[in-house]
Amino acid sequence: MRRFFLFLPWLMLVGVSLAQAGAVTDSPKLKIIASHYPLAYFAERIGGNRVVVNQPSPPGEDPAFWKPNAKAVGDMQKADLILLNGADYEKWLPRVSLSKFKLADTSATFRNEFIRIENAVTHSHGPGGMHSHEGTAFTTWLDFGQAGKQADATAQAMIRKRPELKTLFLENLKTLQADLAGLDAELKAIAALKPGLALFASHPVYQYLARRYGLNLKSVHWEPNEMPGKEEWEELQKSLAAHPARWMIWEDRPDPEIADKLQSLGLKSLVFSPCANRPESGDFLEVMKENLENLRSAMH
């Protein structure tokens, strides 16, 4: 009997711990909608198996120019949390009705550092139709310092919705931020190999990448699967005189005809995918590591 009383406090402690653990595992999975894949990846890394993350835009469509229909809005309304990139990425946002309490603008903490794009050209590609990149540059996550801040905002928004999972979320955030910091350091080291090296970008989506890592980047408006017109080639040749680049950065592998024609002008192609959509294989981290290796080849 005396032995039982000696063990009683321990039994109570174990009981309370088990009850707390039960409460954590019993909480329903957090339903998250992320407006693009990097945010979905951050949420999945932070939330682990405690979250269900969906990206509403279809796989073949650029999430930056995707427009939700009433059904997609209805699905978003059912989510617990909607992760937004901010920086004018979600152009559909003013035209839909969503709960403000569910929205989390992940770039709000660095909105004073957004890059403004003036006099952008209107062009068309993919199912999104005609569009322009005028306004605010939105591929904020290609600056891995900013990506870390967006990951932090994602974690804070998730904690607000599931405070009982705070410890788990913060632990996972720490490992994610370590990975992003690793990418940041590596890219800085790669960019330092040839500072000021002239580069071309096939699309104006690398503004934050160029700013953070000091890349001497000039953008055109080309698509990897659309052969540019005669005027665009002439324009490129003129630009090459002022900006003698040896590499053009692409969002995706360009068609061989385009790559060959570029090669004839002395421009090699490399892929640095913004990874706005879920990749067919691998994940955000793997795609970014591949991007870094591709960029390293230009810097050697």
Partner 1 sequence: MQHDFYLAWRYLRHHRTRSLILIVCLSLLAVLPLALHILLDEGERLMTARAEATPLLVGAKGSAMDLTFNALYFSESTQTRITMAEADRIALTGWADPLAIHARFRVKGHPLVGVSLDYFDFRRLSLWSGQMLAMLGECVLGAEAAESLGLKPGDSLLTSPENLFDLAGVYPLKLHVVGVLGKSHSPDDQAVFVDLQTAWVMEGLGHGHAEAASSPFDPADLAADAKRVTYTEITPENLDSFHFHGDPANYPISAVIALPHDHKSGVLLRGRYLSAEDAAQIVLPLESTRGLLQNIFRVGALFDGVLLLVGSATLLVLGLVFALSLRLRQGEIHTIFLLGCSRATVVRLVGAEILLLVVAGGALSWALLVWIQCYAGDWVRHFVIS
Residues that bind partner 1 (CB under 8 A): 67, 69-70, 73-74, 77, 94-101, 122
Q: Could you tell me the smallest distance in angstroms from the CB atom of residue 158 to partner 1?
A: 16
What is the distance in angstroms between the CA of the first residue and the CA of the last residue of the chain? 77
Pairing mode, strands 103-105 and 81-84 = parallel
3-state secondary structure of 12: helix
- Structural tokens at position 137: 């540059």
C-beta closer to partner 1: residue 17 or 122? 122
Q: H helices of 48-82, where?
A: 70-78
C-beta closer to partner 1: residue 113 or 134? 134
Give the DSSP H or E segment for 190: helix 166-191
C-beta closer to partner 1: residue 100 or 230? 100
C-beta closer to partner 1: residue 97 or 281? 97
C-beta closer to partner 1: residue 154 or 294? 154
Q: Could you tell me the smallest distance in angstroms from the CB atom of residue 168 to partner 1?
A: 22
SS (H, E, C) 228-265: CCHHHHHHHHHHHHHCCCCEEEECCCCCHHHHHHHHHC
C-beta closer to partner 1: residue 121 or 193? 121
Q: Could you tell me the smallest distance in angstroms from the CB atom of residue 102 to partner 1?
A: 8
For the stretch 238-269, what's the b/e string if a residue is b when 16 or more beta carbons lie within 10 angstroms of its beta carbon? eebeeeebebbbbbeebeeebbebbeeeebeb
Rounded to the nearest 10 degrees, the angle between the axes of helix 284-299 and helix 166-191 is 10
Q: Could you tell me the smallest distance in angstroms from the CB atom of residue 113 to partner 1?
A: 18
Q: Could you tell me the smallest distance in angstroms from the CB atom of residue 149 to partner 1?
A: 17
40: closest CA among 30, 250, 193, 256?
Answer: 30
Q: Could you tell me the smallest distance in angstroms from the CB atom of residue 147 to partner 1?
A: 23
